[in-house]
Amino acid sequence: MKKKTALIIIFSFMIFSIVLTSFIQNVVIKEEKGNNNQPNDEKVDTIPPELVLKESKLIIYQDDILNYEAFIVSAKDDVDGDISSSVEHNIIDTSEVGEYKLEYKVKDNAGNETVEIINIIVREKLDVAED
């Protein structure tokens, strides 16, 4: 009985020490983080960039060539500033008549993404008689 009690006491003490150690570590880590990162914590960028396009709808004709960059008015981010050079977009196959979504995407350095779309309608080419 005495042995068992002693074992229980030792075991409890060990658990208590582990819990206490991790508690102290947590507190210390939290305090260190709090002290060191206070200015950084406030700067976490959660606001996506603002992407402005010239059009939201566009009707073009078959085989027209799109100047994709010309539709970008601005891409600005609250932290990164002008990021218009990093705007990405898909390519529209203007050889096929139909409706397309031209998607412009831009991300700030923190990974916040903004997507803007131009709905494009490709119409049949008007035949120009050249005889």
| Least distance from Ca ion to the Cβ atom of residue 109, Å | 8
The nearer residue to Ca ion, 64 or 78, going by C-beta atoms, is 78
The continuous run of DSSP H or E covering 82 comes out as: strand 81-82
Using CB under 5 A as the binding criterion, the count of chain residues that bind Ca ion stands at: 6
Tokens standing for 41? 């914590």
Judged by CB under 5 A, the stretch of 4-12, 87-95, 100-108, 118-126 that binds Ca ion is 100-108
Q: Which of 89, 100, 88 is nearest to 62 (CA)?
A: 100
Question: By CB under 5 A, what part of segment 37-96 binds Ca ion?
Answer: 45, 47, 77-79
Burial of 105 per CB tally in 10 Å (0-12, 13-18, 19+): middle
Where do contacts with Ca ion occur on this chain (CB under 5 A)? 45, 47, 77-79, 108
